[in-house]
Structure 1
Amino acid sequence: MIDANLNDPRKMYYSEKFPDQEQNTPALQDKMDPKPDCGEESYKGYNRLEGRRALITGGDSGIGRAAAIAYAREGADVAIQFFPGEEPDAEEVKALIEKEGRKALLLPYDLRDDNAATEIVTRTVDAFGGLDLLVLNAAQQIAQPSLSDLTMKQVHDTFKVNIISMFETVKAAEEHLKPGSAIITTTSVQSFDPSDPLMDYAATKGAISNFTVSLSSYFA
């Protein structure tokens, strides 16, 4: 009988109930239970990004961390922006990038700050000699049970981190991105199926979807 080398996807990943858990900002992936799998042990690279230079926002955890690990294993040098205070997660990613023989750059910046998005581009170009891959992934998500609990300060901060910083980063990066470069944005199901407790977050994700379509037309 032929061995088809199949894996049952129902048994490959964590399927138990997740325990209730919350962290204040700054938050660490290392403290999550169970600890997320971002490909630290499983992702295999094939040098498909050899010689590329990448900047990933929110690159210390979650989707950004998985991208950073994968890009390094595909041959890219990787800079990661992360929220100050989340250095332990960022240092883990740095070690994984360097283990692949690639350059790593840690950028502890709060994207709510003026010029932060511009500075991370400048520092990446200075360190790597250019920029070919821009992954706009950083986001703030804070659930509120009612509209009265949602402060305008939170609304402003969410928009600054989630979409305004994207505009600033792309503007700063445009002169460095040559034909064949890539800009990748992270949006969400919240962009078309918003949840009441995530009203500000969902609004930014809808804006990101629109922004991405506009960018594709502009650069084309």
Structure 2
Amino acid sequence: MVQVNNLYKTYKKGYAPALSGINLNIEKGDFFGLLGPNGAGKTTLISIICGLSSANIGTAYMNETDILRYPEKIKKYYGLVPQDIALYPTLTAEENLIFLGRMYGLSNQPLKVEVEFWLKKMGLSNHRHKKIHEYSTGMKRRVNLIAGILHNPSIIILDEPTVGVDVQSRVLILETLKEINRNGTTIIYTSHYLEEAEDLCSRIAIIDKGKIIKEGVPAQLISQENRYSNLEDLFINLTGKELRD
């Protein structure tokens, strides 16, 4: 689904490459965790995969389409759920979703069916006419998720989808993502919640200082050495305890 080869990216004012020789293969049906400390290169890599940023060297493909040459062509394949709430605060949840669905090219009746289905599934039917700025953080996160999956993409890319939410919203979001993945959708996911990533992800890549330093199935990576009891132990061992403010 996504293939990245020898990818380098340096920003004009950067002291070091943001990405330094990244190679990555994400297969159809993967729940793939892209994990790393702050400033490791996760956001830069996601921006390139989504066709929102260029690279200095290397190639990137989504569904065999050259991302760097044809960024507009890949937009139909993926849905992006950013860490920032990407909604219009003065519109209601329903108005946001109808507007965004039309941007995806969904027509009136199918769009209304999808909006109705997802609002009900995410526990928002009774709040559909409330403006987004009146929502709690958990409610905003749920609408933010719907906005990225409304057009039924084959790949969903999520950046910290549960940050700052209440327990109930977190459980609902994670259960929904598991269900979507079981139905065949490929998911690329970043998070600092490593216990969450260990539970969700079929494969992970740990990135630090622009390089992938470990990749594989979480349970297998943890069991390679007896000193690791969980993914957090492995992560700290590889990336260190130094603060990344």
Q: Under TM normalisation by the shorter chain, which class is it? A: 0.3 to 0.5
The structure in which a higher percent of residues are helix is 1
Q: TM-score, normalised by structure 2?
A: 0.31
> Relative CO higher for 1 or 2, CA cutoff 8 Å, sep ≥ 6?
2
